[in-house]
């Protein structure tokens, strides 16, 4: 399979599939395709029925993925401004991708979900889901704005806005916390939610927070 990124402001990932090659993605992302492409779907059953309902009803994740089978070409987009990256995973390599950021993955990539626990305070930091992808295979994802890559050594940490995190190695730990704005009761009352990520591994950040810059379209 070959994947090309085309366009700049609102890019697409164009996949060219050989006969029998197959990829998957969330529904509603296809822009155009070769008439020879085959279409199908597969149910997400990790965690059983109740696990699927929790991810779908609470987390907003899909309960099924769309499948596309070659030969032919098919293009996908998140229908929003941003940057698209294509990553090749080695066998056993696992990464976590922010919810509603995955564009496509080859059917050799195992799909699961990973939940980041929130701080428990009232507000948006109630926790969020990430797609867990395990190689071997190829996948593409899109970030809001530009994508910045950081490589953390073992024990090295950085604090980021939770809306900035778009992808990380599964070995990178992530924990939500409340950052006070100064001391005392007022400082704690005015605290904001953030994430602490710790290596070893790669971390990818996006330069626009999707909750502050919502975009239309599916996904």
> Distance (Å, rounded) from C-alpha 132 to C-alpha 114?
6
In the prediction, which pLDDT does 43 show? 73
What number is the average pLDDT over the span 74-100?
A: 95
Q: Return the domain boundaries, the chain.
A: 2-206
In the prediction, which pLDDT does 55 show? 57
Identify the three-state secondary structure at position 183: coil
Domain range 2-206, CATH architecture: 4-Layer Sandwich (3.60)
CB 106 within 8 A of CB 23: yes
Confidence of residue 183 (pLDDT cuts 50, 70, 90): confident
Confidence of residue 179 (pLDDT cuts 50, 70, 90): confident
In the prediction, which pLDDT does 14 show? 98
Q: How do the residues of the chain divide into helix, strand and coil, expressed in percent and rounded to 5?
A: 10, 50, 40
Mean pLDDT of the chain: 86
Query: Which tokens is 1 given?
Result: 């399979």
Specify the higher pLDDT residue, 188 or 86.
86
Confidence of residue 218 (pLDDT cuts 50, 70, 90): very low
CB 142 within 8 A of CB 83: yes
Is pLDDT above 80 for 102? Answer: yes
The predicted-structure confidence for 119-172, as pLDDT tens digits, reads as follows 876 554 577 889 999 999 999 999 999 999 999 999 999 999 888 999 999 999
Confidence of residue 217 (pLDDT cuts 50, 70, 90): very low
The predicted-structure confidence for 8-60, as pLDDT tens digits, reads as follows 899 999 999 999 999 999 889 999 999 999 999 887 755 554 555 555 555 55
Is pLDDT above 70 for 190? Answer: no
Is this model's pTM higher than 0.75 or not? Answer: yes
In the prediction, which pLDDT does 219 show? 35
Query: Which tokens is 174 given?
Result: 């992530």
In the prediction, which pLDDT does 162 show? 81
């Amino acid at each position: 399979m070959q994947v090309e990124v085309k366009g700049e402001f609102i890019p697409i990932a164009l996949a060219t599939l050989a006969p029998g090659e197959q990829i998957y993605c969330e529904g509603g992302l296809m822009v155009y395709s070769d008439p020879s492409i085959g279409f199908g779907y597969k149910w997400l059953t990790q965690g059983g029925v109740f696990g699927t309902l929790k991810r779908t009803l609470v987390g907003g994740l899909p309960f099924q993925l769309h499948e596309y089978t070659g030969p032919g070409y098919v293009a996908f987009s998140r229908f929003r401004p941003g940057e698209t990256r294509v990553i090749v995973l080695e066998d056993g390599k696992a990464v976590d991708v922010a919810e509603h950021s995955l564009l496509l993955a080859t059917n050799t990539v195992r799909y699961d979900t990973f939940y980041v626990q929130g701080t428990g305070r009232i507000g948006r930091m109630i926790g969020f889901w990430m797609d867990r992808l395990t190689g071997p295979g190829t996948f593409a994802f899109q970030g809001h704005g530009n994508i910045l890559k950081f490589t953390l050594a073992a024990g090295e940490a950085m604090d980021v806005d939770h809306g900035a995190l778009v992808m990380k190695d599964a070995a990178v730990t992530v924990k939500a916390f409340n950052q006070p704005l100064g001391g005392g009761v007022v400082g704690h009352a005015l605290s904001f939610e953030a994430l602490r990520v710790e290596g070893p591994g790669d971390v990818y950040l996006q330069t626009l927070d999707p909750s502050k810059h919502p975009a239309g379209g599916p996904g």
